[in-house]
Amino acid sequence: MANHIVAPSSGGNFPAMLTKQVVLCSLIAAFGGLMFGYDIGISGGVTSMDDFLLEFFPSGEEAKHRAKENNYCKYDNQLLQLFTSSLYLAAVVCSWAAAFCCKRFGRKRTMQMAAAFFLVGVVLNAASVNLYMLIAGRICLGAGIGFGNQAVPLFISEIAPAQYRGGLNVCFQMLITIGILIANVVNYFTSKIHPNGWRISLGGAGFPAIFLGLGSLLIVETPTSLIERGKTEEGLKALKTTRGVEDVQKEYEEIVKATETAKKIKHPFRNLIIKRSSWPQLFCGTILQVFQQFTGINVIMFYAPVLFQTMGLGADASLLSAVVTGSINSVSTLVAVFGVDKFGRRKLLIQAAVQMLISQVLVGTILTQHLKTTNAIPLPYAYLTVFLICVFVMGFAWSWGPLGWLIPSEIFPLETRPAGFFFAVSSNMICTFIIAQAFLTMLCQMRSGIFFFFAAWIVVMGSFAVFLLPETKGVPIDEMNEQVWKKHWFWHRFFKPEDEEQAKC
């Protein structure tokens, strides 16, 4: 039986087929996304469960039940927000360590470490008897996510042939969204199991980690990482099997050339910061992740149940609405899986920015007019708001969500790839932390104005995609500088010949 799914093509410059091995390896690696997504989805539901609040955050529980409460402020509790956000701080620190591991031990080993950290975190969380155990568990989960989010997108971008790289990489986001959805469904049922339903919710995170850990035993290391670590024979063999063609000489030589340049760079982090020709990738990779978070998506992902309760939908209806947004998130990601290598990255980002802007502004307007401090929003408006939030999530799911991971993983040259991608991952984590930590307080202070705040960000990021972001569709990963950056109307100026030699440190 043929080992390929799609016949040979050289659309991305080098001949390659879409082999079953590449698809399988990408899907297994994408289970790292399932861990991440499950965690994102589970936190919001768990922090609105009375049993959980009573056990660890009695003051939050009290506030929630206070009579005549203020709609916008019922859940404003810093400690509760710390539960959600502590994980992201740990993830920042750990993705830095993971950048070293990716280079030194390879992408595959780094993914295995991710699964191990995550499992420890799950056990600590599900068995928590006090706040310390709970936070320690969150920190281990954060380590797992830091390692996973660093290694998985890089792994997929390197193992995939250029012309299928986008779609395969988006599988990572696809599994993030499936993780969020599963978590929402799990929360819906466990919220009815008293008093330990929340333990089931948190313990469920073990499954994706086990899948990733066991699955990673089956996958091959990327040819680039093998060659980079001196295993040239193995790397050439892996290149032939992953590309499904014998004629890989041209691509092999490109990788060898890239690894030789990479070897001259002793301090990739320093190099990234002082070398002018690294700035365009560093800026674009980092800002894309900042923008991804400032769409406001996690306000919906973490706090959908809380948000919907604020709008006067009952507890059950709220979790159900979160399930609806979760399903829309997953299904819409398919548009990116199949569209990103066809339409290109920029078109998706620009189209979605317009869609998301309109829905944020409308949600803000409805809430300003109908949700006052202590009333319940009239039901038709509550449903209209849920609908608009779905339109927003849809746009995010086929654009800023997946492309926030894909583009930073494909734009750096090998010598600064793990280090550069670290900046992208960590800005994602820092911004997620800031939003997770600040949202309930911001909601309390800014009320419906919070939606206009995010709308303003969307205007900025849309303009960035129009004017500054280059298109990377179909370009081989080790050819980005030559084919993309040096030809861009703005970024080309960072590549003056004298700068190439500067700071080879």
CA distance 373 to 490: 48
User: Which of 184, 432, 448, 472 touches ligand BGC (CB under 6 A)?
Assistant: 432
Question: How many angstroms from the chain centroid is the CA of residue 154?
Answer: 12
Applying CB under 6 A, among 404, 408, 470, 476 the residue interacting with ligand BGC is 404
Asked if residue 40 binds ligand BGC (CB under 6 A), the reply is yes
Nearest distance, CB of residue 267 and ligand BGC, angstroms: 28
Residue 190 interacts with ligand BGC (CB under 6 A)? no
CA torsion angle for 193, 36, 171, 182 (degrees, to 10)?
Answer: 10
Q: Quick one: 279 exposed, middle or buried, by C-beta within 10 A (0-12, 13-18, 19+)?
A: middle
Applying CB under 6 A, which part among 74-82, 172-180, 276-284, 353-361 lies near ligand BGC? 172-180
Q: 131-159 vs 78-105: helix axis angle to the nearest 10?
A: 40
Give me 270's structure tokens. 């320093």
Q: Give the 3-state DSSP-derived string for 293-323, with helices as H, strands as E and coil as C.
A: HHCCHHHHHHHHHHHHHHCCCCHHHHHHHHH
- Using CB under 6 A, which of 135, 171, 297, 382 touches ligand BGC? 297
399 CB-side CA count, 13 A: 27
Out of 44, 208, 268, 401, point to the residue binding ligand BGC (CB under 6 A): 401
Residues that bind ligand BGC (rule: CB under 6 A) add up to a total of 14
Structure tokens at 224: 């680039």
32 binds ligand BGC (CB under 6 A): no
For residue 9, the SS3 value is strand
Q: How many CB atoms lie within 10 A of CB 203?
A: 17
Please state, in angstroms and rounded to a whole number, the distance separating the CA atoms of residues 128 and 136: 9
**121 vs 404, beta carbon nearer ligand BGC:** 404
Taking alpha carbons only, the member of 299, 465, 463, 320 closest to residue 392 is 299
**DSSP H or E segment with residue 376:** none
- For residues 259 to 278, the per-residue mask of contacts with ligand BGC, x marking binding by CB under 6 A and - elsewhere, is --------------------
Q: Applying CB under 6 A, which part among 21-29, 92-100, 296-304, 480-488 lies near ligand BGC?
A: 296-304
Smallest separation (angstroms) from ligand BGC to the CB of 297: 5
C-alpha–C-alpha distance, residues 333 and 49, integer Å: 29
Of the two residues 297 and 323, which places its CB atom closer to ligand BGC in the complex?
Answer: 297
**Contact pick of 224, 277, 298, 309 for ligand BGC (by CB under 6 A):** 298
Distance from chain centroid for Cα 287: 14
Comparing CB distances to ligand BGC, the nearer of 73 and 319 is: 319
Q: Which is nearer to ligand BGC, 44 or 197 (CB)?
A: 44
* Residue 176 sits in the site that holds ligand BGC (CB under 6 A): yes
| Cα–Cα distance measured from residue 44 to residue 192, given in angstroms and rounded to the nearest whole number | 16
Residue type present at position 338: F
In the set 428, 437, 448, 481, which binds ligand BGC (CB under 6 A)? 428
CB of 292 to ligand BGC, least distance (A): 6
Residue 357 CB, nearest distance to ligand BGC (Å)?
A: 18
Using CB under 6 A as the binding rule, the residues of this chain from 109 to 148 that contact ligand BGC are none
Stretch that binds ligand BGC, among 46-54, 99-107, 171-179, 379-387 (CB under 6 A): 171-179
Give 264's contacts (C-beta < 8 A, 6+ positions apart): 415, 504
Touching ligand BGC, residues 361-380 (CB under 6 A): none
Q: Tell whether residue 286 is a contact of ligand BGC (CB under 6 A).
A: no
CB–CB of 88/432 below 8 Å?
yes
Measured from the CB atom, the residue of 77 and 329 that comes closer to ligand BGC is 329
* 439 contacts 302 by C-beta, under 8 angstroms: yes
Min dist. Cβ of residue 329 to ligand BGC (A): 5
**Binding site residues, ligand BGC, CB under 6 A:** 40, 173, 176-177, 180, 292, 297-298, 301, 329, 401, 404, 428, 432
